[in-house]
Amino acid sequence: MQLASTALPSIQSQTDRNFEWIVINDGADPDTKDIINSIKAKADFPISYIEMEHHYRAVALACATLVTWD
């Protein structure tokens, strides 16, 4: 979840709001869902949250790639 807390200020400061923040929890941190839901409730930009079983990092990256092709 450290990456999200580091990235959030930068994401919030974007002037172009034509984006979606996609968060994929690979199961490594069980608190991620609650943290992201808290951020979603206050955000003025769309956030998609995907939760999956803990696998290798490459699996989460592949999932992100597939989601962005939609």
> What local confidence, expressed as pLDDT, does residue 41 receive?
93
Q: What amino acid occupies position 3?
A: L
Kindly report the pTM of this predicted structure: 0.72
How many residues make up the chain in this entry?
70
pLDDT in tens, the chain (70 residues): 566 678 888 888 989 989 888 888 877 777 888 989 999 999 999 998 888 777 777 777 777 677 666 5
- CA–CA separation, 60 and 51 (whole Å): 9
> What local confidence, expressed as pLDDT, does residue 61 receive?
72
Long-range contacts of 56-64 (CB under 8 A, 24+ apart): 57/26, 59/26, 60/24, 60/26, 63/24, 64/22, 64/24
